[in-house]
Structures are given as structure tokens and as C-alpha cells.
């Protein structure tokens, strides 16, 4: 092996060691909250157009906060109520980010504006455990 090739090989080994150390540190960090799995808020982008939430459902476990970023692209005012949690009024063109918290069981939310629920403005939180 030539000196330059040996040097290149040495650098590859150093790079592999650094990569492994970083990966190990990240793994240790993700477990430092006491759980084996990584858990944090699930952020979903929702768009409102034509009396619909899109997407109109989310699947989460009961320890994961549901954070929704809702953009109203419709020309009417809308909102979203899920259980006791409320988005607040969302004006046309407005984007809001709301933490709806965790849910113990599956639940359906809806837009509280008059007749919007009946016209299809529902949103399902599906709890997977
Ligand atoms: Cu609505």
C-alpha cells in the first residue's frame, strides 16, 4: 500500500468512527426522555378548501400531542373544534398553528360554523393504542 493510499484509508476509518459516535449520541439523546421510542408532537399541515379539511384525519398514539398547522384557503371563515380544544377562528388566507394536546381515545372534530359540519367539515383523530 502506498503512503497516500494508506493515508486515505486512515481518513475513511476516522470518518466511520466519527459517524458512529454521532449516531450513538443521537440515539442516546432520543432515549434520554425515558422512553425507548422517540416521542414528540406530531405536526400535520392541513389545508381548508371548499368545506373540507385536507387531510381530514390523523393517526397518533395516546402520548403524542397533536399539533395542527391549519391554512384556510377558502373564501369563508372556518375553525376546528376537537373535544374541548379549539383552533380559534381562522379567517380566509390565514394560517394558525395550534397544539390540541393528547387524546386517550379516537375522536371526531369539526368546524363549528353554521352547517359546516353537516356539509362535511369533519376531522378525525384516530388513536392507535
Ligand atoms: Cu367551516
Q: Quick one: pLDDT band at residue 46, thresholds 50, 70, 90?
A: very high
> Which strand ranges, in their side-by-side order, compose the sheet holding 57-60?
57-60, 122-127, 107-110, 81-82, 85-86
pTM of the model: 0.70
Which residues are found with C-beta within 5 Å of the ion, ligand 1? 78, 111, 113, 116, 121
Over the stretch 62-92, which tens digit does the pLDDT of each residue have? 999 999 999 999 999 999 999 999 999 999 9
- Per-residue model confidence (pLDDT) at position 32: 44
Strand partners, 107: 125
Q: Quick one: pLDDT band at residue 107, thresholds 50, 70, 90?
A: very high
Q: Distance, CA 121 to ligand 1 centroid (Å)?
A: 6
Q: Quick one: pLDDT band at residue 51, thresholds 50, 70, 90?
A: very high
Amino acid at each position: 500500500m502506498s503512503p497516500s493510499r494508506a493515508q486515505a484509508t486512515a481518513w475513511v476509518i476516522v470518518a466511520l468512527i466519527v459517524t458512529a459516535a454521532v449516531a450513538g449520541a443521537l440515539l442516546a439523546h432520543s432515549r434520554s426522555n425515558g422512553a425507548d421510542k422517540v416521542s414528540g408532537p406530531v405536526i400535520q399541515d392541513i389545508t381548508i378548501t371548499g368545506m373540507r379539511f385536507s387531510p381530514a384525519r390523523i393517526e397518533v398514539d395516546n402520548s403524542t400531542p397533536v399539533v395542527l398547522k391549519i391554512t384556510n384557503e377558502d373564501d369563508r371563515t372556518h375553525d376546528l373544534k376537537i373535544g374541548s380544544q379549539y383552533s380559534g377562528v381562522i379567517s380566509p388566507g390565514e394560517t394558525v398553528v395550534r397544539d390540541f394536546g393528547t387524546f386517550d381515545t379516537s375522536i371526531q372534530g369539526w368546524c363549528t360554523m353554521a352547517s359546516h359540519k353537516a356539509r362535511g367539515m369533519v376531522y378525525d383523530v384516530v388513536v392507535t393504542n
